[in-house]
Amino acid sequence: MKRILLLSIPVIFFPFLNSSQDQVYFGVSRYDLLINKNYTKEKIDNFFRENAYRGANWTRVYSYFYAPFDYGGSPFGGFPNTYIPWKVVSEAENNRKIFDLTQFSSEYEERLKWFMDAAKYYEITVDLCIFDTVAFRFDNTWYYHPFNPNNNIQGFNGSYAGLPWNVDRRYFEIYIKWLAEKLRAYDNLTVELINEGYPDSTGDMDTYRSFLAWEYDLVRREFPGKTIVLSTEAPGLMHIYCDIFDAHFIWGRSALYHEEGGMTVLRYLESIPRPKILSSDGDGDPTKIWQIITQNNQDEIVGLYQEAFSRRWGVDITTLDQTKSYWVVDAGSEVYKSIFGSYPKNWHVKKTPLISPNFTDPKYNYISTNKFTAVGGQQVTFTINYKNTGASATGVVIKDTLSSYFENVKPSSGGSISGNTIIWNIGDVDAEQGGSVSFTARVKVGTPIGTKILNYAEIDCNETEPFTTNKITIFIIF
DSSP code per residue over 303-334: HHHHHHHTTT-EEE---S-GGG-HHHHHHHHH
Q: What pLDDT score does 10 carry?
A: 36
Closest CA to 66 of 86, 90, 52, 46: 86
Q: What pLDDT score does 291 carry?
A: 67
- Answer whether the bond into residue 80 is a cis peptide, omega within 30°: yes
- 129 and 63 in contact (C-beta within 8 Å)? yes
Say how far residue 333 (Cα) sits from the centre of its chain: 23
Q: DSSP for 346-357, please give it.
A: TTT--PPPTT--
User: Sorting pLDDT into bands at 50, 70 and 90, what band is 11?
Assistant: very low
The whole model's pTM is what? 0.72
Pairwise CA distance, residues 126 & 172, whole Å:
21
* 150 vs 331 pLDDT, higher one: 150
User: Sorting pLDDT into bands at 50, 70 and 90, what band is 404?
Assistant: very high
Tell me the average pLDDT across 4-17.
37
Q: How many Cα atoms occupy the beta-carbon half-sphere of 193 within 13 Å?
A: 33
Q: Point out which residues pair with 439 in neighbouring strands.
A: 382, 411
Tell me the average pLDDT across 210-214.
90
> In 140-275, where do the E strands start and end?
189-195, 227-232, 244-247, 259-260, 263-264
**3-state SS, residue 190:** strand
- Burial code of 103-137, b = ≥16 C-beta within 10 A, e = fewer? ebbeebeebbebbbebbbbbbbbbbbbbbbbbbbe
* 35 vs 329 pLDDT, higher one: 35
Q: What pLDDT score does 2 carry?
A: 35
Q: Point out which residues pair with 82 in neighbouring strands.
A: 36
Predicted confidence (pLDDT) at residue 148 exceeds the cutoff of 50: yes
How confident is the prediction for the chain on average, in pLDDT? 87
Say how far residue 194 (Cα) sits from the centre of its chain: 18
Q: What pLDDT score does 289 carry?
A: 61
Residues with Cβ within 8 Å of residue 242, at least 6 apart in sequence: 193, 216, 228, 229, 230, 274
**Which of these ranges, 89-98, 136-145, 210-219, has the smallest mean pLDDT?**
136-145
Predicted confidence (pLDDT) at residue 384 exceeds the cutoff of 60: yes
- 129 and 231 in contact (C-beta within 8 Å)? yes
Tell me the average pLDDT across 77-86.
95
Residues with Cβ within 8 Å of residue 216, at least 6 apart in sequence: 193, 228, 241, 242
Say how far residue 386 (Cα) sits from the centre of its chain: 29
User: Sorting pLDDT into bands at 50, 70 and 90, what band is 286?
Assistant: low
Predicted confidence (pLDDT) at residue 437 exceeds the cutoff of 80: yes
CA–CA–CA angle 59, 61, 62 (5° rounding): 165
Q: Point out which residues pair with 427 in neighbouring strands.
A: 396
Read off the DSSP letter of residue 447: P
pLDDT digits over 355-375, tens only?
778 899 898 999 999 999 999
Predicted confidence (pLDDT) at residue 133 exceeds the cutoff of 70: yes
Q: How many Cα atoms occupy the beta-carbon half-sphere of 53 within 13 Å?
A: 13
